[in-house]
Structure 1
Amino acid sequence: MLQTSPNSHPVTAKGLMKFVETSQGRLDILQQIDLEVAAGEAVAILGASGSGKSTLLGLLAGLDEASAGDVTLFGTTLGGLDEDGRAALRAGQVGFVFQSFQLLSGMTALENVMLPLELAGHANAEQAARNALSKAGLAERLTHYPSQLSGGEQQRVALARAFAPSPKVLFADEPTANLDAHTGEKVAELLFELQEQSGTVLILVTHDEMLAQRCDRRLYLREGCLEIDR
Structure 2
Amino acid sequence: MSSNDTVVSVNNMSQRVQTLEGPLQILRDISFSIAAGESVAIVGASGSGKSTLLGLLAGLDTCTEGEVVLHGKRLQDLDEDQRAKLRAEKVGFVFQSFHLLPSLTALENVMMPLEIAGIENAEKTAEKWLKQVGLEERLTHTPRQLSGGEQQRVAIARAFATSPAILFADEPTGNLDRNTGAKIIDLLFSLNEQQGTTLVLVTHDEVLAQRCDRRLTLVEGKLQPEGQQ
Give the alignment's TM-score, normalised by structure 2: 0.91
Structure 2 stretches of 5 or more lacking a match?
A: none
> Contact between 1:219 and 1:229, CA under 8 Å: does it hold in 2?
no
> Contact between 1:110 and 1:133, CA under 8 Å: does it hold in 2?
yes
Structure 2 residue 60 is matched with structure 1 residue 63: yes
Structure 1 stretches of 5 or more lacking a match?
A: none
Structure 2 residue 122 is matched with structure 1 residue 125: yes
Distance in 1 between the 2:51 and 2:208 partners? 16
**Superposed displacement of residue 117, structure 1:** 0.8
* Secondary structure, counterpart of 1:71 in structure 2: strand
Q: 1:39 aligns with which of 3, 16, 36?
A: 36
Tell me the amino acid that sits aligned with residue 178 of structure 1.
N
- Give the corresponding residue for 1:210: 207
* Secondary structure, counterpart of 1:127 in structure 2: helix
Q: In angstroms, what is the RMSD of aligned CA positions?
A: 1.8
**Superposed displacement of residue 148, structure 1:** 3.1
Distance in 1 between the 2:39 and 2:66 partners? 23
Tell me the amino acid that sits aligned with residue 79 of structure 1.
Q
> Contact between 2:18 and 2:24, CA under 8 Å: does it hold in 1?
yes
Percent of counterpart pairs with the same letter?
Answer: 63
Structure 2 residue 185 is matched with structure 1 residue 185: no
Q: 1:18 aligns with which of 1, 15, 20?
A: 15
**Superposed displacement of residue 203, structure 1:** 0.5
> Contact between 1:99 and 1:176, CA under 8 Å: does it hold in 2?
no
**Superposed displacement of residue 23, structure 1:** 5.8
- Give the corresponding residue for 2:88: 91
After TM superposition, the runs of 4+ consecutive aligned structure 1 residues lying more than 6 A away are none
Structure 2 residue 100 is matched with structure 1 residue 103: yes
Give the alignment's TM-score, normalised by structure 1: 0.90
**Superposed displacement of residue 180, structure 1:** 3.4
> What is the aligned residue count?
227
